[in-house]
Structure 1
């Protein structure tokens, strides 16, 4: 058995939750924050049989996409604070897969 942690952008979370349900994948959905922009994201926690991990990865890959956005970072200089929009890639998914020594459902 494996435990899959999938951290996805909020824009992809509802569709991903729907696709998990359609594919019989039980997932716990948690609101989370982090990353470079400190924006909200969603973390899914999934306990799954070893042979089903590839199915989970396929659903994640098909439904979580990177996109480009403009952000305005604040840069301190001698003239004061300067901001100029910068284009960055956001989204997609960060996925961790860990072994599970024991699993019980009560």
Structure 2
């Protein structure tokens, strides 16, 4: 058995969950925040048998597109005194970051 951890953009998650549940995959949804843009994203936990991993990744790929978006530059972390003037920058958002890990034991109580 495998645990698929998929971090996806908030805009992509609703259709993704619909497609996963349509194929009878059980999904746990966690609201998370990205570190660089400090924007909302969603982390999905999906437990599957080894032979279903490729199908889940295919569904994720079909629902999570990378796209360009204009955002305000992040505030500098250093506590430097002075005036910080944010400016727009173009970044890629969307897509998915996927981790597949082995499950030693699975219990459903």
Q: TM-score, normalized by length of structure 1?
A: 0.90
Q: Which runs of 4+ in 1 moved over 4 A?
A: none
- Measured at CA, do residues 43 and 84 of structure 1 come closer, stay the same or move farther in structure 2, by a change above 3 Å? same
SS state of the match for residue 85, structure 2? strand
C-alpha displacement at 1:102, in angstroms?
A: 0.8
Calculate the aligned-residue CA RMSD, in Å: 2.0
Of Structure 1 and Structure 2, the greater strand share is in: 1
- Measured at CA, do residues 74 and 82 of structure 1 come closer, stay the same or move farther in structure 2, by a change above 3 Å? farther
| Matched residues, number | 106
Partner of 2:73: 73
Alignment of 1:1-106 (within 5 A): 1-73=1-73, 80-106=83-109
- Measured at CA, do residues 105 and 58 of structure 1 come closer, stay the same or move farther in structure 2, by a change above 3 Å? same
C-alpha displacement at 1:71, in angstroms?
A: 1.4
CA displacement 1:20-49 (0-9 Å, x = unmatched): 111111111111112310111111101100
C-alpha displacement at 1:74, in angstroms?
A: 5.7
C-alpha displacement at 1:80, in angstroms?
A: 3.7
- Quick one: distance in 1 between partners of 2:24 and 2:63? 16
**Structure 2, unpaired ranges of 5+:** 77-81
SS state of the match for residue 83, structure 1? coil
- Quick one: distance in 2 between partners of 1:29 and 1:74? 27
Q: TM-score, normalized by length of structure 2?
A: 0.88
